[in-house]
Structure 1
Amino acid sequence: MHQEGKLRDELIKEVSRSHPRSIAETSDVPRALASSPALSHRDTPDRDRPAIIRSHPHPTPALETAAVDGPTDDEGGRPETASAEGQERQPLHIPGDPPLCPEQQNAIDLAMQGHNLFITGSGGCGKSVVVRALHRTLAARYQATNKTVHLLAPTGQASINIGGRTTYNYAGWTPEDAKKPLDGRGSVIKKARGQYIFKRYWNTAVLIIDEISMVENQIFERLSRVMYAIRDNSSPFGGVQIIVVGDFCQLPPVKPFGYCLHCGREMKKLNDQWTCPDGHGDAFKDRDKWAFKALEWKRCNFKCVRLTKIHRQSDKAFIEVLQKCRLGQHLDDADANLLLAHHAEAENGTELKSTREQVDQRNLEEFVKIPGHIHEYKAADACTFARGETRQPLDRLHEHRYPRELQLKVDTPVILLANVDLDSGLCNGRQGVVVGFVPSDTIQEPRPPSLQNYKDDYDGYRAATERYKRIVGFLKSAWSNKDMFPKVRFANGEKKVIGPDCAVIGYGDQSPYSYLSRTQIPLTQGWAMTIHKSQSLSLDRVVVDLSRMFEHGQAYVALSRARSLSGLKVVGADASGLRRIFQVDDAVRAFMTSIDSNDTEDQPADAKPAGSRPVE
């Protein structure tokens, strides 16, 4: 214990010496190591209750507290990892997430056996939980080897949701690099031979790519070709294990076929076909934009795991209609009536909108109508450098799920952005209303993390120590300024005072990592939210205006955020409009049919329904 305390003190001193710098607008998000649990306080104070509750999105052990809702690190220890031989073990449980159900655990087991995987399923099946579990398990496996498990997503928002980095950031590309040839002088392969990117590619053990539906064919193809050139290995992605996760029935790639894969020249579109002006490669049609159309996809020889158990909704009729919407199947009159004419209890529901401008305007319009004092919370952004590193991380913190500035009044509807207490139903996406403000000193200072709970995970311990320091700093500032924290009554009847949460992102390609963090009250105003930002959330009350949808998959993503049919209000379409809106790309339909009939990995025979908690 003395040695542990000494090491902890040294780490805290190390963090204190680092002169954190505030991050303004930058370009991308690096690899995540950890985030903190959110601080909260029960309506009936109990000084033996924890100040810190486990939260997602990043699956590392939470800060140690006097007592913790749910299993603690001390009770459960560090989750065991399967061997490459796939020996039998207990289902993995990530703190802050529900335990994995058998089909989710099956995906983890296949990954640990070294297979390339395509993991798919409807909204609400727990893909986000599986991504976090995969990252935690595989990272622990490779930690002692100096190999890295990278967590990627195609957009800044999607990468922040999982605490990862964008595909471009991992590859070391800027938008201008899309205009460069694949090989030869001034090419992306030549650029990748530079020390920094070369080392990253060489040390990669696993790539986990989330939201694969938004990754364009030629981006998938180019990344694989660059990696096998740099790694001198003709296997896809240079022999790196590839795990892709997502649903091709949801959001598609944005602006596909911008530049030629081979020469970098701008592609020309004529009669729904994109071609290279210099004649390189094939002509592409819109149906070719998906990653599964890439030649490298076929070479990856993915095992497909379909997650079929829906955890977000429990109404069988609602689930069946959502599945029809997802797959573009015919909606009969009964289906249309179910969506359009049911009794909706969606008063004060969150309106899901297509653009950020629409969301900002709606939230501002409603906020100014509420009388009373404004309580403003500014995020504390910090960067702590390790190993003498001084470069700014490529990150867009303005896309972080936690707002840079949060304004609240009594009667402000809010959405919870962290898993605060799963046993009480206070999870990511839970909606509520601010009912008051209490002195910030009702929130206790957390205990520092215990090295014993991290075993060989030194990086996780450093991240937790960084997280601890940031939360304590936020609290002490609040105490000094006599700030007030919001008390929220949630839709399920629970009341809780919500204190700060800290998301810590590790970046760099070798331990010890540098850290970027944002500390903020994990709430956002709840009148409106973009559909893109709602991904991974489960909402109690949702209003969806179908007249404003402009992409395949948008409407399904919006509808499937609702936990129940009674909490969903659909406007902007009649029965015939519904049938026009819920169309699925022909290429996606054919692909989904092919994996259903040929390539799907058998689910575990003992699969049982998971609990009713929302998991995504």
Structure 2
Amino acid sequence: MLWEGEQSITDLINVTFPNLDSHIGDKNYMRDRAILTPLNEHVNMLNDITVVQLPGQEVIYYSYDSVSDDASNFYQPEFLNTLTPCNLPPHKLKLKVGAPIMLLRNIDPKFGLCNGTRLMCRRFAKNVIEAEILTRHFEGNSVFLPRIPLNTAEDIKLPFQLTRKQFPVRLSFGLTINKSQGQTFQHVGIYLPNNVFSHGQLYVALSRGTSRDKTNVLVQNGKIDNHTGIYTANVVYKEIFAQLQHQHRISH
């Protein structure tokens, strides 16, 4: 289903996660659903709205943030806490039992704990989270996730390297389109407040679902002058096809 911008984000959440309050602890329900969007800021917004609808007590974990080689304490913790680079968990990590989460680091690939693995929260302690793996070969296994120091990636444009001691996870009701690559879902919501920004992103988003009937797209700014209907722009780098054609001619 394709929706115009007037349709609310809440409607998209409700059609992707219907009757959420009656599915707490249902791993199949959580595994088979996700809302995809291009940017992390919208992922965070979708996760914040959805986790509130999940029954149960909210648990909040605060990170410990620091900057190396900052002997003068120029970068105050209060400022560092406001930063959420795309490869780090939030300073204020809000979770509930039954909520789906995604790993942001390779912790133990031998046992399925890889960057991008989706899990479901089972129990919480001060410095450990018990979770159940939702995907791939290790589905159903219980694991314990520690709080660990995490550094910003080299391509993050900050004048310093931020070290954040936190659990290496984010909520995963919502995912970026890029993070969803290689995964499939029975029920997919796609939120496009703006057009996608890189080659192939729209195709990746639309191909994550197993059926057209269970894929719902909410498009904002989806109008084109002198045309009726709902539109969103696709991004195609024509140079890629030109390069492929050149390689094809060489190989023949």
Please indicate, yes or no, whether the TM-score normalized by the shorter chain is above 0.5: yes
TM-score if structure 2 supplies the norm length? 0.59
Structure with more of its chain in helix, by fraction = 1
Q: Structure 1 length as normaliser, TM-score?
A: 0.27
Among 97, 103, 122, which residue is 1:435 paired with? 122
User: Does 405-414 or 580-589 show the bigger shift?
Assistant: 580-589
Equivalent position SS for 1:399: coil
Structure 1: distance between partners of 2:29 and 2:171: 20
1:593–1:570 CA distance, 2 compared to 1 (3 A): farther
CA contact (8 A) 1:428 1:538 kept: no
Aligned to 2:246: 594
**1:161-188 Cα deviation digits (max 9, x unpaired):** xxxxxxxxxxxxxxxxxxxxxxxxxxxx
Distance in 2 (CA, whole Å) between partners of 1:565 and 1:499 is 34
8 A Cα contact 1:549 1:555, kept in partner: no
1:368 counterpart SS class: helix
Give the C-alpha shift of residue 414 in structure 1: 1.1
Deviation at 1:413, TM superposition (A): 1.3
8 Å contact kept, 1:430–1:538: no
Per-residue CA shift, 1:432-462, capped at 9, x if unaligned?
A: 2111224xxxxxxxxxxxxxxxxxxxxxxxx
Could you say what secondary structure the match of 2:241 adopts? Answer: helix
2:188 aligns with one of 543, 551, 571: 543
Aligned residues: percent identity? 24
Residue 501 of structure 1 and its aligned partner are, at CA, apart by 2.4
Instruction: Report how many aligned residue pairs link the two structures.
Output: 192
Larger proportion of strand? 2
**Counterpart position of 2:163:** 517
Cα distance change, pair 436–571 in 1 and its aligned pair in 2 (3 A): same
Deviates more, 1:405-414 or 1:419-428: 419-428
Check if 1:380 corresponds to 2:64: yes
**C-alpha deviation, 1:360, in angstroms:** 3.6
- In the TM superposition, residue 362 of structure 1 has moved relative to its aligned partner by 2.6
From 203, 228, 245, the equivalent of 1:556 is 203
Q: Which residue, out of 149, 159, 172, partners 1:526? A: 172
CA drift of 1:598 comes to 4.7
Going from structure 1 to structure 2, the CA distance change for 1:369 and 1:497 (only over 3 Å counts) comes to: same
Cα displacement (A) at 1:379: 1.6
SS of corresponding position for 1:545: strand
TM-fit CA distance, 1:488: 0.7
Residue identity in the other structure for 2:98: D
Q: CA deviation at 1:370?
A: 2.3
- The amino acid of 1:353's aligned partner reads T
Given candidates 409, 418, 440, the residue that maps to 2:105 is: 418
Query: Structure 2 CA distance, aligned partners of 1:499 and 1:383?
Result: 21
Indicate how the Cα distance of structure 1 residues 370 and 547 shifts in structure 2: closer, same or farther if over 3 A, else same: closer
Structure having the higher Rg: 1
Matching residue of 1:364: 48
Paired with 1:506 and 1:391, the residues of 2 have a C-alpha distance of 21
592 and 570 in structure 1: CA distance in 2 versus 1, 3 angstrom threshold = farther
Preserved contact between residue 430 and residue 539 of structure 1 (Cα < 8 Å): no
Contact preservation (8 Å) 2:148, 2:165: yes
Q: Where does the alignment leave 5 or more consecutive residues of structure 1 unmatched?
A: 1-343, 439-482, 508-513, 600-616
Which of 34, 59, 74 is equivalent to 1:350?
Answer: 34
The structure 2 residue matched to 1:407, chosen from 89, 94, 106, is 94
Q: Is the 8 A contact 2:100 2:120 kept in 1?
A: yes
Equivalent residues of 1:546, 1:570 under 8 A apart: no
Contact 2:201 / 2:235 at 8 angstroms: preserved in 1?
A: no
